[in-house]
């Protein structure tokens, strides 16, 4: 899945997801918005999905696994392969490996998709999450 690219230009719409722990209930959430939101995504048009770990998780030694994401039953129709991107909270520093990646959502087929995020905690233990993406009715 890693390494292939989308044949067209990247979409103009960007959806950023910052994966972190909500301190109020210790649940994994998109901590970019205030207050944090569920990791479920409602996608209505072609867009670029940018995933990264929160600064708090990165400081504690968390990273994405070498294969950071998979999509259940998509068969390459709606989601491109992932591409690693550079991220570091300090703009003067080099990018942190396995901290951020991007995927293009093509919006070719409606439905409810399960995506899995694969992370490693500071001890190297695998953490897997399976949030939903809803696009259309799912019927």
- Chain segment 34-80, per-residue pLDDT in tens: 889 888 777 888 899 999 999 999 999 999 999 999 988 776 678 88
Domain extents in the chain: 14-135
Q: Kindly state the helix (H) or strand (E) to which residue 57 belongs, with its residue range.
A: helix 55-59
Pick the CATH number of 14-135 from 2.60.40.420, 3.30.930.10, 3.30.450.20, 1.10.645.10: 2.60.40.420
Q: What is the pTM of this model?
A: 0.85
CA 104 from centre of chain: 11
- Chain segment 75-101, per-residue pLDDT in tens: 667 888 899 999 998 888 999 999 999
């Amino acid at each position: 899945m890693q390494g292939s690219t989308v044949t067209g230009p990247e979409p103009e719409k960007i959806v950023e997801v910052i994966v972190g722990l909500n301190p109020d209930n210790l649940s994994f959430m998109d901590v970019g918005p205030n207050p944090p939101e569920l990791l479920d995504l409602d996608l209505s048009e072609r867009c670029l999905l940018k995933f990264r770990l929160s600064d708090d998780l990165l400081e504690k030694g968390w990273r994405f696994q070498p294969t950071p994401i998979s999509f259940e039953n998509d068969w390459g129709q709606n989601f491109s392969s992932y591409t690693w991107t550079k991220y570091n909270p300090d703009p003067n520093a080099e990018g942190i490996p396995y901290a951020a990646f991007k995927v293009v959502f093509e919006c070719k087929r409606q439905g409810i998709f399960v995506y899995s995020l694969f992370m490693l905690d500071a001890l190297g233990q695998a953490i897997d999450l399976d949030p939903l993406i809803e696009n259309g009715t799912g019927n």
